[in-house]
Structure 1
């Protein structure tokens, strides 16, 4: 029987990508006590890079939000792995650290990252409300538009 969070994903019409393997010398997540530290997740969908370029130049704010949503789906996929396949073990999303590949004059990073924050709250409800940083980056790995890391608490 699917858990509450898996049912919520289905209800929202959301599919999770396959949890991506690391692209360099790091692990996708670390569990320390009850906390899970998720490495930066990029705009990858089952091995295919999406949203390559800069927000404010190649993408609008709304397109940036879609890129952020994809990062959030990858975060949830990694959380599922870290929780042994049971997303109901996620007690709280503690923090998101978000980076937007944008032009020097772009200042709407918070609006872009709302795409991820809104998705996380829609999936996890009250326990999805989190602290957050949303900053600009002159470039991101593989030229992706957004990268987001996360900290979550497991029960």
Structure 2
């Protein structure tokens, strides 16, 4: 078992099967030594979770849980793409979208749920650049959606 799988186990996380796309796109694309992962939403074992709007009916802590679930789904896609999480060279960037009211300004704190998880799961390879953006709605009314760019180890 590799370091990342060990980290996930110690975090009590079992990766789900990679979710199929919900529209006309592919879930990931490898170009050169880069892996691009399409936006992952809060798909849990029993379907869509965290359908909410930050600043209206959801706390920052609940939003962080939603962001963490998106990050788990990013790693599931990475495993499907690469076959082995140890092929992750580093997480280069995540872009996090937060379904929020116009006056909500804590999008960075919400996306910390994903950032903190990625560093815990990937170690130093998980330190990344990022953007945290507030939007007026997301697919299926979910609280967060996150996309990722990953460098493949050479």
Query: Which range, TM-score by smaller chain?
Result: over 0.9
When normalised by structure 2's length, the TM-score is 0.97
Where do 5+ consecutive residues of structure 1 fail to align? none
8 Å CA contact 1:94–1:131 kept in 2: the answer is yes
8 Å CA contact 1:18–1:46 kept in 2: the answer is no
What SS is found at the alignment partner of 1:55?
coil
Work out whether 1:10 is the aligned partner of 2:19. Answer: no
Give 1:135's aligned residue. 133
Report the alpha carbon displacement of residue 47 of structure 1 after superposing the two structures with TM. Answer: 5.6
Where do 5+ consecutive residues of structure 2 fail to align? none
8 Å CA contact 1:20–1:47 kept in 2: the answer is no
Give 1:82's aligned residue. 81
Report the alpha carbon displacement of residue 32 of structure 1 after superposing the two structures with TM. Answer: 0.4
Structure 1, residues 23-80: CA drift from partner, whole Å, max 9, x if none? 1110100000110000000000136000102011111000000000000000000011
Q: Which moved more, 1:62-71 or 1:13-22?
A: 13-22
Decide whether aligned partners of structure 1 residues 47 and 29 sit closer, same or farther in structure 2, where only a CA change above 3 A counts. Answer: farther
When normalised by structure 1's length, the TM-score is 0.96
CA RMSD of aligned residues (A): 0.8
Task: List structure 1 runs of 4+ shifted beyond 3 angstroms.
Answer: none
Work out whether 1:26 is the aligned partner of 2:21. Answer: no
Structure 1, residues 1-38: CA drift from partner, whole Å, max 9, x if none? x2121111101111212210001110100000110000
What SS is found at the alignment partner of 1:91?
strand
Give 1:97's aligned residue. 95
